[in-house]
Amino acid sequence: MTSHDFLKELDIHAENLGVYYGQWAGSGSVYTSVSPIDGKPIASIKQGTKEDYDKILSEIEKSTKIWQLTPAPKRGEIVRQIGEAVRAKKEPLAKLISLEMGKIYKEALGEVQEFIDICDYAVGLSRIFNGLVLPSERPGHVILENWHPLGIIGLITAFNFPLAVSGWNTAISLVCGNCQIWKGATTTSLVTLATQKIIASVFEKNKLPGAICSMISGSGATIGELFIQDKRLSLISFTGSTDIGRRISSVVHSRFGRTILELGGNNAVIVMDDADLDMALRSTVFGAVGTAGQRCTTCRRLVLHEKIYDEFVGRLVKAYKTIKIGNPLEDSTVCGPVHTKNAVKDFLHGLKTIQEQGGKILSGGKQLEREGNFVEPTIVEISHDAPIVKEELFVPILYVIKVKSFEEAVQVNNEVPQGLSSAIFTSSQRNAFEWVGPSGSDCGIANVNTGTSGAEIGGAFGGEKETGGGRESGSDSWKQYMRRVTCTVNYSKDLPLAQGINFG
């Protein structure tokens, strides 16, 4: 086991059990988590099996009514305590994220804060779930709209935000009155485990069944398949690739279940000739290099107006040369490693394909000769219609594309199959409002004078097209975790029919 004091603070041992449903268990194979920083083992976790899964669901079903009948503000109080418990472990959790996932410590602190913030948001939400009171056409009648919990939620999260995305779903779903079973990414099993231990401690302290918020570790091919086939899970929330999301959608909807899908992104930043170039440059570098290009909202395409193209590219290449690549736990590091050895292979293979399709490397382009999974953040000049540009390479490769007009820039933004995040830098009010209007960006996130990354918890997060159409976090995303009931109440002594029908 890697020697780090913060692992002890999080109750992570050399060997750990990876199943929780009110008690800890695990009867499957052992997975050893390794750090992308140096490839060395951190700790191991005993994964779950189908038998463990069945036991979890049995315990959840016993707990469902208890949680549903707990008043929403009291559910909010439990989520408040979860947020405070995470806050108390903010620094060790962030260090674990850096160690196991690879993002720099400053970004990891922000991810933990995002979990805390969504808990705060959910606490307030627990007191203001609002249905409608509608006028009835029948005298002595009123129409009410009620919202009820769905029941049991299946949550499958990805490696790149192993804490924050679980929080978006968990905090909101819990205050809505649902129980849940969570499977985090295998390669960030220790972050999942540490988070679950914090959550479990709150339920146990409040003498509530731990199964309300359960966890199982294991591969997606086995455990994930159990999730999507199980009719007891009313909703599957999945963050990951478009290919896997397509299968999940097909299977879950075939059994009339619900999905929240957060899939591929291929996000563009447009910089017009009237933009504040200093601001656009800072935003682009952060959006393209942050988390080593492994955010769903990473800036992958930089669309530049021809009048500022040469100047901006020159400044961008100069900025890339100052980026310090290294250990994400060191304060001076700007870019840590990519997450796995396979990501390094994707980086190298992607660059080979890019060059075969006419792309020109302007900066970077190499794997670093050192321990761990380190590559150089890379800038590539390429045509917008090169086939590789339509794909999502989940590594730090940024395409720069030249356009002649605002209209052409919007066309380039919209021509890829993904539709998560997008941004424009401009001083033109007309451009800005056309961009956020129906004929502008076709993405779920359309920003003006700020980059593609850095979504806040108050707004709904998600995208269109092959991004899946799901929405998580703020706004009215809570409605996805509940079922709507329309209730007509007759408080009169008569029984009039709607539409003026006279029956008998």
DSSP β-ladder status, 152-156 and 235-239: parallel
Q: 381: pLDDT confidence band, cut at 50, 70 and 90?
A: very high
- The pLDDT, as a whole number, for residue 1 is 58
Q: Please, are residues 258 and 234 in contact by the beta-carbon 8 Å criterion?
A: yes
Q: 454: pLDDT confidence band, cut at 50, 70 and 90?
A: confident
Name the residue type at position 278. D
Average pLDDT of span 474-484: 97
- The pLDDT, as a whole number, for residue 500 is 84
Largest CA distance in the chain: 87
pLDDT in tens, 128-158: 999 999 999 999 999 999 999 999 999 999 9
pLDDT in tens, 270-321: 999 999 999 999 999 999 999 999 999 999 999 999 999 999 999 999 999 9
Q: What are phi and psi of 312, to 5 degrees?
A: -70, -40
pLDDT at 3 over 80: no
Burial environment of residue 8 by CB neighbours within 10 A (0 to 12, 13 to 18, 19 or more): exposed
CA-wise closest residue to 309 among 240, 243, 390, 403: 403
Q: Please, are residues 202 and 82 in contact by the beta-carbon 8 Å criterion?
A: yes
Q: DSSP code of 241?
A: -
Burial environment of residue 52 by CB neighbours within 10 A (0 to 12, 13 to 18, 19 or more): buried
Q: Please, are residues 469 and 462 in contact by the beta-carbon 8 Å criterion?
A: yes
CA-wise closest residue to 128 among 172, 62, 193: 172
- The CATH number of the structural domain formed by 5-263+468-485 is 3.40.605.10
- The pLDDT, as a whole number, for residue 275 is 98
Q: 28: pLDDT confidence band, cut at 50, 70 and 90?
A: very high
Cα–Cα distance, 434 to 401 (Å, whole number): 21
DSSP string, 29-81: -EEEEE-TTT--EEEEEEPP-HHHHHHHHHHHHHHHHHHHTS-HHHHHHHHHH
Active centre residues (catalytic)? 262, 296
Strands (E), 391-473: 397-403, 418-419, 421-425, 445-448, 460-461, 464-465, 472-473
Cα–Cα distance, 278 to 276 (Å, whole number): 6
Strands (E), 295-388: 299-305, 360-363, 378-381
- The pLDDT, as a whole number, for residue 364 is 97
Cα–Cα distance, 107 to 120 (Å, whole number): 20
Average pLDDT of span 444-448: 98
Percent helix, strand, coil in the chain (nearest 5)?
40, 20, 35
pLDDT in tens, 415-442: 999 999 999 999 999 999 999 999 999 9
pLDDT at 226 over 90: yes
* Range name among 151-155, 160-164, 221-225, 364-368 with the lowest pLDDT average: 221-225
- Give the tokens for residue 210: 């731990």
Q: DSSP code of 168?
A: H
Q: 2: pLDDT confidence band, cut at 50, 70 and 90?
A: low
Burial environment of residue 278 by CB neighbours within 10 A (0 to 12, 13 to 18, 19 or more): exposed
- The pLDDT, as a whole number, for residue 455 is 85
Average pLDDT of span 149-174: 98
Cα 474-477-480 angle, rounded to 5 deg: 155
Cα–Cα distance, 184 to 165 (Å, whole number): 10
Q: Please, are residues 386 and 401 in contact by the beta-carbon 8 Å criterion?
A: no
Give me the residues paired with residue 182 across strands. 155, 215
Q: Identify the helix (H) or strand (E) that includes residue 498.
A: none
DSSP β-ladder status, 19-20 and 213-216: antiparallel
The CA-to-CA distance between both ends of the chain, in Å, stands at 80
DSSP β-ladder status, 24-25 and 19-20: antiparallel
CA-wise closest residue to 382 among 359, 353, 362, 364: 359
Mean pLDDT of the chain: 97
Strand ranges across the sheet with 267-271: 360-363, 378-381, 397-403, 299-305, 267-271, 421-425, 445-448
Q: DSSP code of 223?
A: I
Average pLDDT of span 379-403: 98
Cα–Cα distance, 66 to 120 (Å, whole number): 23
pLDDT at 504 over 70: no
* Domain covering 267-461, topology: Aldehyde Dehydrogenase; Chain A, domain 2 (3.40.309)
Q: What are phi and psi of 110, to 5 degrees?
A: -65, -35
Cα–Cα distance, 169 to 266 (Å, whole number): 23
Q: 503: pLDDT confidence band, cut at 50, 70 and 90?
A: confident
- The pLDDT, as a whole number, for residue 502 is 83
Q: What percent of the chain has pLDDT over 70?
A: 99
Cα–Cα distance, 176 to 184 (Å, whole number): 21
The residue extents of the domains of the chain are: 5-263+468-485, 267-461
Residue in this structure with the two tokens 């036991």, named with its chain if needed: 55
Q: Identify the helix (H) or strand (E) that includes residue 395.
A: none
pTM (two decimals): 0.96
pLDDT in tens, 96-139: 999 999 999 999 999 999 999 999 999 999 999 999 999 999 99
CA-wise closest residue to 237 among 341, 159, 154: 154
